[in-house]
Structure 1
């Protein structure tokens, strides 16, 4: 059994955090693709546990909520009735709750974009924050009932409603596929309370950072996740690295430092050690050389 050296593990995780896919990471680091995937899954699960332990008892003044689209295995239009576990394939949305002043991702949840998952996301957010922060969301209606149920009727909740152009009629195919629809109107509505500021600009900018920092969110590529567990692990890895390791350009510190849950900039090695410390003690091994095994079988000695 060959155990993957710690230096190689750090190299693999650093490459993944820089937005490389599994295959590209394998080529650059020289680590077997299966080993890269196994390590990413284990560290991602550890990062989720680390997030649960650190992001509690917070007092953000204002929160911005949004959802980020992706898909697992296949796009929703190709999901058939006979697909096993249809909830784990097709379109998946990652809910993000961002602290407006700290830019920290306080809560996140990946699943279908429906009322049940929205309520579960808001319930998780409620358990992490103390007090009654102002909340800004988009016009997705399930937010209103979920926020009212978890935060009460007096919470300051504002909604940003954007109206887009009817689509790209008459445009060339390339422009239609690669250019987003134009925003023609923006309305700001007060759902409850008296919010001092209604905006989702920071969390929408965070969505761009996620697409750039995780290959699984890249549009029009083959870097999408094949399994929901691996997708969720990749999201957790990104969130932990973003909060703890990346110095925000405007804050001059990491979001975790701005939020008060960290006192220094973490390295990838720090993140790796902390994430693996939450997981069962099993060595990360290199995958066997399949080509060698096949040659033995073909030679009649297997």
Structure 2
């Protein structure tokens, strides 16, 4: 079977995390769209597995949480009646948690914006931390019980509730409602009110929209399958955490957080894919010694 070189596959993955669409990547790299899709799937799987195994015992002090909207298959208003309520048809939210100091993306989850997913997301975040933290979220009510249940009171938690004015109906699609004020609310423990903020995680939302074509608003670059959206998010955070140098930190978030002591490249991500494929081949007996 023909296989693209490590450099070619690294180039394709780099274009994907820099905001290019899959079809534009296939044209520039002169490969089929199926090749790009398969590489995204393979990369997404290994990136999710690697970060799930290594983003543990994170020594964090302050964490910010948020949710970012996208959609799969079609806009929510255009979902057919028989597909209503099925995850992967209509609105999809990605929950994210960012360390305020190292900017490390500690946890994320692709799914619905409801209590079930809030609980799963907060539970995963809590399991990856080594010490008590100060947590800040927006005013979404599902966080309250989820944080109480998953942290068991061992957290200093505050909400930053933002208040917006009336929407400009003539510019509703392009301009958000004007910001009026914000309110800091203590929800658990004793959070330092000077650090109650969601600025870093909201800035990360912009990074996600710029780095993943399927998150760009008002385009046809949306995800057709929720599985591919999840793979794209895993690849994005692998690049963000391990490969990309943060302009403020002058190093990668993973290095700043002590998760790794080396700066990765996309070639290293491709090496993870090859290692997984080799392991599969060995388990199938492809490399057994002939007698």
Q: Give the TM-score normalised by structure 2.
A: 0.92
Aligned-partner Cα distance in 1 for 2:260–2:161 = 35
Query: What are the superposed Cα offsets for residues 53-97 of structure 1, whole Å, 9 maximum, x if unpaired?
Result: 110111200100000000000111112331287122111000000
Query: What are the superposed Cα offsets for residues 232-251 of structure 1, whole Å, 9 maximum, x if unpaired?
Result: 00000000000001111111
Aligned-partner Cα distance in 1 for 2:271–2:214 = 24
1:13 is matched with 13
Q: Which residue of 243, 247, 255 corresponds with 2:241?
A: 243
Contact 1:75 1:91 survives alignment (8 Å): yes
Contact 1:123 1:150 survives alignment (8 Å): yes
- Alignment length (residue pairs): 278
Aligned-partner Cα distance in 2 for 1:187–1:51 = 34
Q: Which runs of structure 1 show a deviation greater than 2 angstroms over 4 or more consecutive aligned residues?
A: 1-7, 274-282
Aligned-partner Cα distance in 2 for 1:195–1:275 = 42
Query: What are the superposed Cα offsets for residues 226-283 of structure 1, whole Å, 9 maximum, x if unpaired?
Result: 001000000000000000011111111100011001112111101221244345647x
2:179 is matched with 183
Q: Which residue of 208, 211, 214 corresponds with 1:210?
A: 208
Give the number of the structure whose alpha-carbon radius of gyration is greater. 1
1:295 is matched with none
Contact 1:26 1:33 survives alignment (8 Å): yes
Aligned-partner Cα distance in 2 for 1:64–1:85 = 29
2:22 is matched with 22
Aligned-partner Cα distance in 1 for 2:51–2:204 = 18
**Correspondence list, 1:1-302, <5 A:** 1-83=1-83, 86-169=86-169, 171=170, 175-196=171-192, 197-278=195-276, 281=280
Aligned-partner Cα distance in 2 for 1:210–1:88 = 19
RMSD in angstroms over aligned alpha carbons? 1.5
Aligned-partner Cα distance in 2 for 1:195–1:66 = 18
Contact 1:97 1:108 survives alignment (8 Å): yes
Aligned-partner Cα distance in 2 for 1:184–1:85 = 34
Residue 87 of structure 2 aligns to a residue in which SS? helix
Residue 272 of structure 1 aligns to a residue in which SS? helix
Aligned-partner Cα distance in 2 for 1:276–1:101 = 33
Contact 2:6 2:270 survives alignment (8 Å): no
Aligned-partner Cα distance in 2 for 1:152–1:220 = 41
Q: Which has the higher contact order (CA 8 A, sep 6+)?
A: 1
Aligned-partner Cα distance in 1 for 2:239–2:99 = 16
Decide which moves more: 52-61 or 268-277: 268-277
Aligned-partner Cα distance in 1 for 2:56–2:116 = 23
Note the residue ranges of structure 2 that are not aligned, 5 or more in a row: 282-291
In the TM superposition, what is the alpha-carbon distance from 1:8 to its structure 2 partner?
A: 1.7
